[in-house]
Structure 1
């Protein structure tokens, strides 16, 4: 074989390899600097922060990335230890890059389709959806924060069970909405594990889960917005989430503890009904039943009973008011949400024996079943 033919074959092999890589990562804005594979063969590519897919949204053509929220110092003072099960296998992207989960086309298609059916308390009734939680109207609200826990549950392929905290505004049928939490949804993630997630809906009713469409700007180089949790049956994952409007830029930040992480934000350009803040906030559990009518378990699968540790828990639920002052959500009247006998809701009282104050808290959840209603 001549040297010229060998060279042609080498070039063709390199082109084939490059084409294969492009197909695998066709959902990414650029090829990664490096990659990390964590539990369950989930891969994160470290992408140039300025070339991340979230910036491809047409409303963000002239957007300048905000590297830290203006309120970052008060979080950095806490310096909490990193003891979360979620971070035993850490992601450490190089400086100037951010972790973007490598998505399949199937994931993106499913996430976009199911985002149109996402239930939130600003929407009408959704057949097969059941909720247990609290919400509050009024505002304007500039943020919400809460501790809550997530569990391993047996959720079928056509079901979903999740805990969420959210804020939003509605006006003449239009909705702006942001939600974060923990979810088991095999139709989106392809497995029955517990995942962190984010969801948004903005101008022209556009939006989606996680980063299945452009919009969310990832800033943390270590903590991605969406990730699976790994723990044994009977254990639980406990996290504190915050959604906070930056007073200087108007961007809506996600902050997560363990470790304290400014994960990223949804830019203000995506929304048109929350310039002055949101007019509704809330927290709670949600399930989506199978088309057959079988509803999945919610929370830890148990009804609330005496004592805050027997069922799933939301605690220290606080809001940021119009003056950016933190207040317990029950400073003003809250509305309790419960629409099925298959689940329960119990708003807590002060716990005298508890070493750490729970603030405003409630227990929720239940086993589900075939007769939960529509």
Structure 2
């Protein structure tokens, strides 16, 4: 090999090493592009293999799964007329959008994660909930349509609605949830945001991409994004959390035409979910302020069994059973969870005229106040 060729190879190798350090050094990644879509909301386009989610020590040998082994099927329904249209981030090929977390968000992540209700033992001071769950799995997924609202939430309060899966006990919990949240101290504003959350084998949890673990795959739709809900109106969100039959990873998909497979929580993060989840469900949750005042849940209205469109609602709640067969949630034994009937309510849909359109559904929510209990 000539001296010139050897020199060229050395220079090329040096260039590759240098560019690797420039693009990814520890937790620091230089974006290829950035997009600011509002005040305090900037998305960086990061190389998919350079995303910080892969820095989790349990993912040292993880290989990215680019899409689910089997695509979820969109359930056709008239309720999707006012469906959420997320703003797509036009990241270049080979990159994914990552929200540039605020300092407050990063600081609060671990504190808030400890208080995130997991419904295996739903007891967290100042937290109230209204929802349903099915135990005695294994289950491999849950999906639902649910309405998103704009609410006036105080800076030290939170209100959110979610679908979820989980396994464990008081001593150890694996849990995944996704939905929408209004949390001014968390996100830095009072808007409605989509989000995802997980708690894994180390006992710690995390939201979105605030720390390593979640693997973003969609090139255009991030897991966390502000949604501008028109004042006095609502938008429909159609989410699925499901375990990949071949890899065991847990995907979050926004169902539609086409589906958007946002990303997944790798199986390596969990020690109790290899064979599915023991529990699936859906619920509205609120966190009271330090003064004890609880915020609105859902759209702030108590359920009216005769008028399901007047309050917050989860509809077409479906579950993947132990054989990956999709069934209505009420095919299984279903429990109601409601801890503060003074302030919030829940009614399971029973009207056949609505069941034909809405499948298994329930209404929930309420105004909150100062007498909701601890």
TM-score by length of 1: 0.88
Q: What is residue 37 of structure 2 aligned with on the other side?
A: 38
Q: Which runs of no fewer than 5 residues in structure 2 stay unpaired? A: 1-21
Residue in structure 2 matching 1:205, options 203, 206, 219: 203
- Aligned partners of 2:72 and 2:255 also within 8 Å: no
Distance in 2 (CA, whole Å) between partners of 1:27 and 1:75 is: 39
Matched, 1:312 2:312: yes
Q: Does the residue aligned with 2:111 lie in a helix, a strand or coil?
A: helix
C-alpha displacement at 1:179, in angstroms? Answer: 0.4
Q: What is residue 349 of structure 1 aligned with on the other side?
A: 350
Give deviations 1:281-308, integer Å, cap 9, x for gaps: 1101001111111010000000001221
- Aligned partners of 2:35 and 2:43 also within 8 Å: yes
Q: What is residue 238 of structure 1 aligned with on the other side?
A: 236
C-alpha displacement at 1:26, in angstroms? Answer: 9.9
Matched, 1:363 2:333: no
Distance in 2 (CA, whole Å) between partners of 1:124 and 1:317 is: 21
Distance in 2 (CA, whole Å) between partners of 1:76 and 1:338 is: 28
Go from structure 1 to structure 2 and tell me whether the alpha carbon gap of 1:124 and 1:344 turns closer, same or farther (over 3 Å shift).
closer
Residue in structure 2 matching 1:181, options 166, 179, 182: 179
Q: Does the residue aligned with 1:357 lie in a helix, a strand or coil?
A: helix
- Aligned partners of 2:141 and 2:242 also within 8 Å: yes
Within a 5 Å distance, the mapping from 1:62-77 to structure 2 comes to 62-72=61-71, 74=73
Residue in structure 1 matching 2:136, options 135, 138, 150: 138
C-alpha displacement at 1:90, in angstroms? Answer: 2.5
C-alpha displacement at 1:76, in angstroms? Answer: 12
Go from structure 1 to structure 2 and tell me whether the alpha carbon gap of 1:154 and 1:325 turns closer, same or farther (over 3 Å shift).
same
Give deviations 1:199-220, integer Å, cap 9, x for gaps: 1000120221111110000000
Q: What is residue 4 of structure 1 aligned with on the other side?
A: none
- Aligned partners of 1:86 and 1:230 also within 8 Å: no
Distance in 1 (CA, whole Å) between partners of 2:110 and 2:321 is: 32
Matched, 1:289 2:288: yes
C-alpha displacement at 1:85, in angstroms? Answer: 4.8
Q: Which runs of no fewer than 5 residues in structure 1 stay unpaired? A: 1-21
Distance in 2 (CA, whole Å) between partners of 1:124 and 1:230 is: 30
Within a 5 Å distance, the mapping from 1:254-269 to structure 2 comes to 254-258=252-256, 260-269=259-268
Q: Does the residue aligned with 2:268 lie in a helix, a strand or coil?
A: helix
Count of aligned pairs: 347
Q: What is residue 104 of structure 1 aligned with on the other side?
A: 102
Q: What is residue 148 of structure 2 aligned with on the other side?
A: 150
Give deviations 1:262-317, integer Å, cap 9, x for gaps: 00000000000011100011101001111111010000000001221010010000
Q: Does the residue aligned with 1:277 lie in a helix, a strand or coil?
A: coil
Give deviations 1:211-232, integer Å, cap 9, x for gaps: 1110000000011000000132
Distance in 1 (CA, whole Å) between partners of 2:277 and 2:177 is: 12
C-alpha displacement at 1:40, in angstroms? Answer: 3.7
Q: Does the residue aligned with 1:55 lie in a helix, a strand or coil?
A: helix
Q: What is residue 331 of structure 1 aligned with on the other side?
A: 331
Residue in structure 1 matching 2:118, options 114, 117, 120: 120
Decide which moves more: 259-268 or 169-178: 169-178
Q: Does the residue aligned with 2:219 lie in a helix, a strand or coil?
A: coil
- Aligned partners of 2:40 and 2:102 also within 8 Å: no
C-alpha displacement at 1:106, in angstroms? Answer: 2.3
Go from structure 1 to structure 2 and tell me whether the alpha carbon gap of 1:298 and 1:26 turns closer, same or farther (over 3 Å shift).
farther
TM-score by length of 2: 0.88
C-alpha displacement at 1:30, in angstroms? Answer: 1.5
Q: Does the residue aligned with 1:154 lie in a helix, a strand or coil?
A: coil
RMSD of aligned C-alpha atoms? 2.3
Distance in 2 (CA, whole Å) between partners of 1:158 and 1:358 is: 35
Q: What is residue 89 of structure 2 aligned with on the other side?
A: 91
- Aligned partners of 2:33 and 2:44 also within 8 Å: yes
C-alpha displacement at 1:107, in angstroms? Answer: 1.5
Give deviations 1:327-367, integer Å, cap 9, x for gaps: 1111122101111110010100244268x721100000000
Q: Does the residue aligned with 2:357 lie in a helix, a strand or coil?
A: coil
Q: Does the residue aligned with 1:352 lie in a helix, a strand or coil?
A: helix
